[in-house]
Amino acid sequence: MTTAGDIMHRGAQWIPAHETLDRAAQLMRELGVGALPISDENERLCGILTDRDIVIGCVAVGHDPARVTAGEMAQGTPRWIDASADVDAVLHEMREHRIRRLPVIEDKRLVGMISEADLARHLTDEQIADWAGSVYAPSSTTH
């Protein structure tokens, strides 16, 4: 059985909720990633911040990324998957919540992240097509 731990990329790093978006953008650049899990003061997942969130939710509305924190951008219930979960559970979680990145947790600690690129490297063409069809399908709430 292939697990989330098998397909994730290791080295995912938290951005603390109190850090500003300009620091988050710098960390994304340093790590070569487009998303960071946001942690609360107990190193528990409280959201995910994407480069798009910074642009659309902060810069494009005239806010200063040096004054807005990652925690202020955290919205909704953060989704994650246990490292021992099988790939079907990973795909279900991502499809069900229409997400493209999924933090992987083991023993209550962040151990990695699953992204579209990870799926492309480890899944069959049929699995990828099914996942993409559901995640990228137009939603009735999308404008």
pLDDT at 143 over 50: no
More confident residue, 141 or 23: 23
Average pLDDT of the chain?
Answer: 89
The owner of tokens 């151990």 is: 111
Strands (E), 57-108: 81-82, 102-106
Local structure of 18: helix, strand or coil: coil
Partnered with residue 50 across adjacent β-strands are 35
Query: pLDDT tens, 7-34?
Result: 998 888 999 999 999 999 999 999 988 8
Q: How is the chain split into domains, by residue range?
A: 4-135
Task: State the average pLDDT over residues 24-48.
Answer: 91
Instruction: Fold for 4-135, please state it.
Output: CBS-domain (3.10.580)
Whether 71 contacts 23, CB under 8 Å: no
Query: pLDDT tens, 96-136?
Result: 888 889 999 999 889 999 988 888 888 788 877 887 777 77
pLDDT category of residue 81 using cuts at 50, 70 and 90: very high
d(CA 37, CA 55): 17
Whether 52 contacts 31, CB under 8 Å: no
Q: What is the pLDDT of residue 139?
A: 62
